[in-house]
Structure 1
Amino acid sequence: MNYLAHVLLSGADPQWQLGGFLGDFIKGPLPALDESYPSESLSQSVLDAQGSPWAKPVLQGVMLHRQLDVFTDSHPIYKQCVAMLGTRHRRFASIALDVFLDHLLARHWSEFHHHSLDHFSHQFYDFCRERSAALPRRAEGFMRAASEHHLFAGYGRWQVFEQVLVRIDQRIRFDSNLSEVGDEIGRHYDELSILLLMFLSEAQKSAEKKRLLIAGIKAV
């Protein structure tokens, strides 16, 4: 999944949302998120840019991020979509499909959230801006650019989808041909849209259950 999907599926708590976003920036094992957190023996990976332990809900959001990545990669619908793009693109198809998920979310936002995408996005941008000094440098830079260019809403435009793939392609050391994968997604746009909107609906339901389990709350 890409940024918008992870933030959405993290639920209403902005700290969980921040963790959902930071899942691509916080690496390494997570500590036990029980009553003993934070302990004195925390690894550097779970300290923010100012050297303070991340709040427990932020790391719970990171944990959810990781679980949702596993859920996505193993889901039959997602696997079907990867296969649809052909064996030639199999290695990098999931990267392009993750961005395409954000494209679909932006275009069908009202099916997944009761607030407008602009309202949701600006609340999250503002929350991150208030904590910019604590964010990893790359994460802070990304959020600053995302806010300036209204990226979350922009994902709904095909041109932005293509531009994002080009930028990712420039960061990958291997020849990923993500633009070609994007073209292939365009050729299967309608069929992929139907399948992945079904997947997003299932992912949202799964995320609700996972959040309760991570938080230690029993579902009623």
Structure 2
Amino acid sequence: MNFLAHLFLSGLNQEVIVGNLLEDFVVGRIDHPRNASYNSIIKDGILLHRLIDSFTDTHLAVSDCKSLLYSKYHKYAAVLVDIYFDHFLALHWDEYSDEPFPDFRKRVHQAFLLNWEILPENMKPMIESMIKYDWLKNYSEFWGIERALQGISRRTVYESNMQNATEDLKIHYQLFEDKFKVFFPEMISQCKNFLDKKGYIVSNILQ
């Protein structure tokens, strides 16, 4: 899953939200001494991120989508499916959340600003850009997807051609949307179970 889904699936706790996105900047075991500065709630967010990634990587609907893209994009097919699925979450937001989308984005931005001091320095420019350009809103539009893909393509080590992948979304739009609608309620259930067991509030998440 890409940024929007990871943040949405974190529920209402600010530190879980921050930890979820921070996971991309965390190396190795959560109990490693290098991660000792993070409190237990941030660490729960990191663990939630890993649960989401693991469930996504092994789900048949996701595998079907990646298979469709693999011959053209190879290992980057998984990245594309993540972004496509964020598009469908933004597009169908009211089916999955009882929180207005603008309120959600404002709440997420505030969570990072209030926890700014714990963010790794190499993460801060990304968060600044996410807030300034309202990335989460832009996923609902094709031009927003194109901008996200162009940014990722510039950072890849090998030629990815991802900057052109919006066309593949358009061509197979109904298939990707149908697969998302199979996958995402199951993903929600996994995350709600995790958050419920930890005692966190998840009232913004429907289903």
For normalisation by structure 1, the TM-score amounts to 0.85
CA contact (8 A) 1:162 1:182 kept: yes
Supply the AA of the counterpart residue of 1:181. A
Residue 172 of structure 1, aligned match among 145, 156, 173: 156
Bigger-Rg structure (1/2): 1
Tell me the matched-pair count: 200
Query: Residues 56-205 of structure 1: matches in 2 within 5 Å?
Result: 56-205=40-189
Q: Give the 3 Å change call, closer, same or farther, for CA 174–110 of structure 1 in structure 2.
A: same
Distance 1:142 1:117 in 2: 21
1:18-37 to 2 correspondence within 5 Å?
Answer: 18-31=18-31
Equivalents in 2 of 1:91, 1:76: separation in Å? 17
* Aligned 8 A contact 2:17 2:45 in 1: yes
Shift of 1:90: 3.2
Distance, in Å, in 1 between the alignment partners of 2:149 and 2:105 is 21
Whether the 8 Å CA contact 2:18–2:115 is kept in 1: the answer is no
Query: C-alpha separation between the residues in 2 aligned to 1:91 and 1:181?
Result: 14
CA gap of 1:212–1:163, structure 2 versus 1, over 3 A, is same
- Higher alpha-carbon deviation: 132-141 or 56-65: 132-141
CA deviations 1:73-128 (Å, max 9, x no partner) are 10000001111224232321110111111111111111111111110111110121
Alpha-carbon distance in structure 1 between the residues aligned to 2:181 and 2:109 = 25
The residue aligned with 1:4 is: 4
The structure showing larger relative contact order (alpha-carbon pairs under 8 Å, at least 6 residues apart) is: 2
Distance in structure 1 (CA, Å) of the matches to 2:184 and 2:174: 15
Cα distance per residue 1:31-52 (max 9 Å; x no partner): 1xxxxxxxxxx522x15xxxxx
Deviation for aligned residue 1:204: 0.5
Indicate the percent of aligned positions where both proteins have the same amino acid. 24
Structure 1: gaps spanning 5 or more residues: 32-41, 48-52
Q: Name the CA distance, whole Å, in 2 between partners of 1:200 and 1:144.
A: 28
Pair 1:43-2:33 in alignment: yes
TM-score by length of 2: 0.90
Structure 2: which 5+ residue stretches go unaligned? 201-207
**Contact 2:84–2:176 (CA under 8 A) maintained in structure 1:** no
